[in-house]
Structure 1
Amino acid sequence: MIASLAGVVEHAALDRVVLGVGGVGLLVHTTPATAAASRTGSQLLLATTLVVREDALTLYGFGSVDERDMFETVQSVSGVGPRIALAMLSVMGPDDLRKALSEGDTKALTRVPGIGAKSAERLVLELRDKVGHAAPGTGSAPTDAARGGGDDWRAQVTEALTGLGYSAKQAGDTVSAVAREHPDERDVSTLLRLALRGLRT
C-alpha cells in the first residue's frame, strides 16, 4: 500500500490534487478542506491509501494519519465505499465522526449526504466499539492553508458544499451566515470547516 506521498502541488481542484512526485503527477482524491489548503507550487505531505478495483487504481490522500485510518475503518461496513467514506470525513472530520459513532449519534451521521437512517444505524452498530473516543490533537487540519483575497473564498466554499451534495440554497445560506459571523476570516480551509459545522447544527 502507498501509505504517504510528499511532493509539489501541481494542481488543486474541488476534491482532488495533482501531486508531483519524482517527475510523475499523481492524481489524489481528498476532502475539500485539504484541497482548499493546497496551493500550487507548495510542498504537501499526505497520508494516503490506494483503493484497487478491477478497472481502476485510485489514490486517496488526507491531512493526517488519523483521517486516513478512519476513512479505511468506515469502509469495513457493508454499503460504505470510498465515495461515502470521503463524504463522511469531508462533513465531519475524524474526531466528530468518532464521537458520533461511539455515542450512537445517528442524527449527526444522517447529515452526511448519502447516509440514511438505516445506514447510520448500521455504522453505529458495527463501529461503536471499534473507533474508541476522540483523542486530543488528532484533528485533520492541513498545513499550508490557502488564503484568498476579497470574497474569492465564497465561490470556493459554495462549490465545495454543493460538491458534497448540499443544495445550492443550503450552500448559499450557510456561506452568507459564515461571512456575517466571521467578517475578517479569509482562510478557505477554516471557512469551509465553519460552514460544515453550521450545516450540522
Structure 2
Amino acid sequence: MFYYVSGTVAHVEPYLAVIDCGGVGYACKTTSTTISQLQIGKAGKLYTYLHVGEGIFDLYGFATQGELGSFKQLIGVSGVGPKAALAILSVCTPQALAMAVITGDEKALIAAPGIGKKIAQRIILELKDKLTKEQQEIGMPTAPGIVAGEKSKAVEAAAALAVLGYTQQDIAVAMKGVDVENLPLEEIVRQSLKKMVK
C-alpha cells in the first residue's frame, strides 16, 4: 500500500519515528539503527511495510531497502513477530544478520532483547532452508575452478545477500566490480549492499 513515506521528521522515540508528509504525521515503528539516522526538523524518508492483522494496523519504516528486506525475511520465520524483528535489526545490520545466518552465529541474534537461543536457532534454520530452496530453484552460480564441496567467497557472499531477499539479478549487478578474490567475505557483502541501497 505504501512504498515509502518522505517528509519532515516530526518526532522520534525508542522504536518509533513520526514523518510529517504534507501536514499528516505517519507514525512508523522502526529500529534504533534507523532512528540514529534521523534528525527532528530535517528531511526523512522511510521505506515502509504495513502490518495488518486482527485489530492491528501498524506501519513500519526503515532508512534503507536492505533493512526493510531483512525485516520481511525475519517476520516470515515462524514465531518471529514484528517486535522481535525490530529488536534483532536494532543490534544487527542487514549485513550482520546475513552473516549470522550463513555462519550459524546464534550469539549475534541472542544479543537482541527478548531473543532466546531457540528462536535464534529457528531463524538461522528457516532462513538457511529458504535460501537452499531458492538456490535449487534458480541454480546458484558457482565460480569456476572450485573443487566439489568447497564454497567460494563469491558464492557465500551471494548466499548472504539472498538471505536478505535480494534477487539473483540484483546480486549479480551489485557484485560486479567488487574484488571477490582478495576482499574478506564481510567486506564483499558490505560493498555489494552499499551498491544496492544507493
TM-score (normalizing by structure 1): 0.65
Partner of 1:136: 190
Deviation at 1:14, TM superposition (A): 2.1
Q: Does the aligned pair in 2 maintain the 1:6–1:46 contact within 8 Å?
A: yes
Which segments of 5 or more consecutive residues in structure 2 lack a partner in the other structure?
132-158, 162-188
Deviation at 1:75, TM superposition (A): 0.9
Deviation at 1:31, TM superposition (A): 1.1
Q: Does the aligned pair in 2 maintain the 1:17–1:35 contact within 8 Å?
A: yes
1:136 partner amino acid: R
Deviations 1:98-129 (A, max 9, x none): 10011111222222222211111111111025
Deviation at 1:90, TM superposition (A): 0.4
Mapping of 1:85-164 within 5 angstroms? 85-130=85-130, 132-134=159-161, 135-137=189-191, 138=193
Give the superposed CA RMSD. Answer: 1.8
Partner of 2:72: 72
Highest CA radius of gyration, 1 or 2?
2
Residue 60 of structure 2 is aligned to residue 6 of structure 1: no
Deviations 1:127-156 (A, max 9, x none): 0254621533426xx9xxxxxxxxxxxxxx
In 1, the alpha carbon distance for the partners of 2:69 and 2:54 equals 23
Point out which structure has higher relative CO (alpha carbons under 8 A, 6+ apart): 1
In 2, the alpha carbon distance for the partners of 1:136 and 1:108 equals 17
Deviations 1:70-117 (A, max 9, x none): 101111111100000001100111110110011111222222222211
Partner of 1:196: none
Q: Does the aligned pair in 1 maintain the 2:74–2:80 contact within 8 Å?
A: yes
Q: Does the aligned pair in 1 maintain the 2:33–2:89 contact within 8 Å?
A: no
Give percent identity, aligned residues only: 40
Which segments of 5 or more consecutive residues in structure 1 lack a partner in the other structure?
143-201
TM-score (normalizing by structure 2): 0.65
Q: Does the aligned pair in 2 maintain the 1:12–1:36 contact within 8 Å?
A: no
